[in-house]
Structure 1
Amino acid sequence: MTKQRLVILGGGESGVGTALLGKEKGFQVFVSDKGTIKKTYKNVLIHNEIEWEEGQHSEDKILNADIVMKSPGIPDKVTLIQLLIAADIPVISEIEFASKYTEANIIGITGSNGKTTTATLTHHLLKQDLSVGLAGNIGDSFAKQILEHDYSNYVLEISSFQLDGVIDFKPNIAVITNVTPDHLDRYNYQFENYVASKFRIAMNQTKDDYLIYDADDEVITNWLKANPVQSKLLPFSLIKPIENGAYLDKENIKITIDNNQIIMPTANLALEGKHNIKNAMAASTVAHLLKIRKQTIRESLENFQGVEHRLEHVLKINKVQYINDSKATNVNATYFALESMDAPTVWIVGGEDKGNDYKELFQFVNEKVKAIICLGVDNEKLMHNFGNMVDVIIETQYMSEAVKIAYKIAETGDNVLLSPACASFDLFENYEDRGRQFKDAVRNL
Structure 2
Amino acid sequence: MRRFIRMTTRSSCLRATLFLLFTGLAAAELKTWDIPMGGNSYLTKSSAEPSGRGRRGGGNGNSSRLDNSDQVQSVFFRIDRPGELELSLKTKPPAGESKLRATIAGKTFDVDLKGGETTEVPLGKVTAKEAGYLRLDLQGLKKSGDAFAEIEAVTVKAPDTVALNYVKDNEGNRFYWGRRGPSVHLGYTLPKGDPVEWFYNEITVPEGSDPIGSYFMSNGFGEGYFGMQVNSDTERRILFSVWSPFTTDNPKEIPEDHKIALLKKGEGVHGGEFGGEGSGGQSYWNYPWKAGETCRFLNRVHPDGQGSTVYTAWFYLPGKKDWKLIASFKRPKTDKHLTGAHSFLENFSDRNGYLGRGALYGNQWACDVKGQWHEVTEARFTGDDIANRGFRMDRSGGSKGKEFFLRNGGFFEEPVKLNSTFKRDSTSAKKPTIDFKKLEGYEG
Q: Computing the radius of gyration over CA atoms, which structure comes out larger, 1 or 2?
A: 2
TM-score normalised by length of structure 1? 0.24
TM-score normalised by length of structure 2? 0.24
Structure showing the higher helix proportion among its residues: 1
